[in-house]
Structure 1
Amino acid sequence: MAVAFRTLDGRDDVLIDPDKPFHAASTMKVPVMIELFRQRAEGIVSLDEPLAIRNEFRSIVDGSPYTLSEGDDSDREVYAALGGTMTLGQLNESMIAVSSNFATNLLIEKLGVENVRRTVKALGAEGMQVLRGVEDQKAFDKGLNNATTARGLLVLLEKLAQGQAVGARADGEMIEVLKRQKFGDAIPAGLPPGTPVAHKTGNITRIHHDAAVVYATRPYVLVVLVRGIDEQKQSAALIAAISRAVFEATQAPAGR
């Protein structure tokens, strides 16, 4: 497990194994979104731009084609659009809010994975590595996986929360997308009901992550990366317990 916590005022932080590498799972979708908004800011793309929806991608190992399985995805909307189009903005919403793997691969193909990597490096998110899209089995078998550290995700979310990733307006839009994330069994579950939280989860077998900006009275960033727990309910409960402890410690009245 790794934990990275810092208040947005920079006055308090806790770092536990912040540079330990983990499979990124779906947390790698955050830098993909940042790259989308960066390219929009530079006039390269528009969120209203339509993109053809086709289910064929190329392995980074040998260029061979592979497809995604609808049954393994958390979203059906993109599959329903096969043969048609969706806008880049719609695909981004699916990628973040419901963690669509299909939308992720389409966006990575459009934006260029090398551009995502450059943006991650430029933002100083050390330990975060975006090599490929999702479900490239040949790459997985060779150990060519997207990776992250708690520190890397902490840096990305701090930049977004402070308007320093792309720009104040774009970063604010991205924060709003992250607030619409549908999976709330980890960090949000440890917060009082109604606490605004902008976050991205990541789950694969025996991996469970959540990375969040918590907009409490004293706002903060919290990243919890968990590896090795078989049952997702157990890992979710662990992350929620950490979230609850952090909230209670940071929001305690003065003198308590």
Structure 2
Amino acid sequence: MNLYLFRIACMFLLVFQFSCQQKSTKQQDLHTAILSQIDAIQGDVAVAFVNLSDPKESVLINAEEQFHAASTMKVPVMIELFKQQDQGKLDLKDSVVLINEFKSIVDSSFYSMDIVDDSDDVIYSKIGTAVALQDLMYSMITVSSNLATNVLIELVDAKNATATMRELGADKIEVLRGVEDTKAYELGLSNTTTAKDLMIIMRAIAENKAGTAADCAEMISILKDQQFNSIIPYFLPEEVKVAHKTGSIVGVHHDAGIVYLPDGRSYVLVILSKNLKEYDKATEQLAGLSKTVYEYMVGH
């Protein structure tokens, strides 16, 4: 009887080892496939992926390299808004009078946003009127409104947003300033991030660690309404839902999101890029990276 049990145990051990080796090989194949695709892109690319259903499955490529954060920095601002509401410092249902005047972090001189450089032109018709904080936050994420972002950053303070990111375990992301602070930009003072830090932040939202469960659910709902969908969701089936935030400036195109599969599993994927030579072609290639990760997930 003991010999029989021993043989059964050995059989299960061999099956387990084979299963682990198979999973490890598939993960290595994914890593290799992504590297091959990155090599074809004219520019610098970083990728961070983690399977939330099995966090041991992850891929990190150039994940600690610094990138200009572009509009991905708006996710930390959203998290900070919910945090300060929970602390009683503000109420997202409250309104503020929308003013297009902000202070440079360099010398406190005033500057204004230009409608031509903003992805949200509707909000400019509301200048001088009262707008709810939750509406500004929604516009900041879904249509990447720069005017709304600057109003909210001045409200919560960029330093507080960065400090909260540190509490979540994101050690390198820096929220320094609002958008279009030209004097700061010329001095090299820009918001920066790494793929790994954005992965940590998006995972914290997905796992209800970036705030209360209700707050995180609301953040996910807002992120799912993202209007710019040319990278992570682009090649994915319609039934796959993506809660994500993009970012783009000259030669830079980012996307960071939580991908929800119909079978209930989910994963976080972050794709960052800079020094892109052919922006439109590179954007489609970046979307191809997302497709590769999706095919890996549904293939096992």
Select which of 258, 263, 280 maps to 1:233. 280
Indicate whether 1:141 and 2:186 are aligned. yes
Cα shift readout 1:12-63 (whole Å, capped 9, x = no counterpart): 0000011000000000000000000001111211111101101110000111
Does structure 2 conserve the Cα–Cα contact (< 8 Å) formed by 1:23 and 1:146? Answer: yes
What is the TM-score with the length of structure 1 in the denominator? 0.97
Q: Give the AA of the match of 1:29.
A: K
More helix by share: 2
Taking the aligned partners of 2:234 and 2:93, their CA distance within structure 1 comes to 34
**1:104 aligns to what?**
149
Q: Report 1:51-200 matches (<5 A).
A: 51-200=96-245
Indicate whether 1:30 and 2:79 are aligned. no
Structure 1 residue 93: Cα displacement: 0.5
Does structure 2 conserve the Cα–Cα contact (< 8 Å) formed by 1:199 and 1:210? Answer: yes
Select which of 47, 50, 68 maps to 1:6. 50
| Mean Cα deviation higher: 142-151 or 189-198 | 189-198
Q: Report 1:201-212 matches (<5 A).
A: 201-212=246-257
Give the superposed CA RMSD.
Answer: 0.9
Indicate whether 1:215 and 2:260 are aligned. yes
Q: Which runs of 5+ in 2 are unaligned?
A: 1-44
Taking the aligned partners of 1:56 and 1:206, their CA distance within structure 2 comes to 28
Q: Percent identity?
A: 46
Secondary structure, counterpart of 1:4 in structure 2? strand
Taking the aligned partners of 2:279 and 2:228, their CA distance within structure 1 comes to 12
What is the TM-score with the length of structure 2 in the denominator? 0.83
Structure 1 residue 185: Cα displacement: 0.8
Cα shift readout 1:200-243 (whole Å, capped 9, x = no counterpart): 00000000000010001331000000111144322221111000
C-alpha change, 1:80 and 1:143, in structure 2 (3 Å) is same
Structure 1 residue 173: Cα displacement: 0.4
Structure 1 residue 127: Cα displacement: 1.6
Max Rg structure: 2
Structure 1 residue 105: Cα displacement: 0.2
Structure 1 residue 194: Cα displacement: 2.7
Structure 1 residue 108: Cα displacement: 0.4
Q: Give the AA of the match of 2:186.
A: D
Does structure 2 conserve the Cα–Cα contact (< 8 Å) formed by 1:126 and 1:151? Answer: no
4+ residue stretches of structure 1 with deviation over 6 A?
A: none
**1:248 aligns to what?**
295
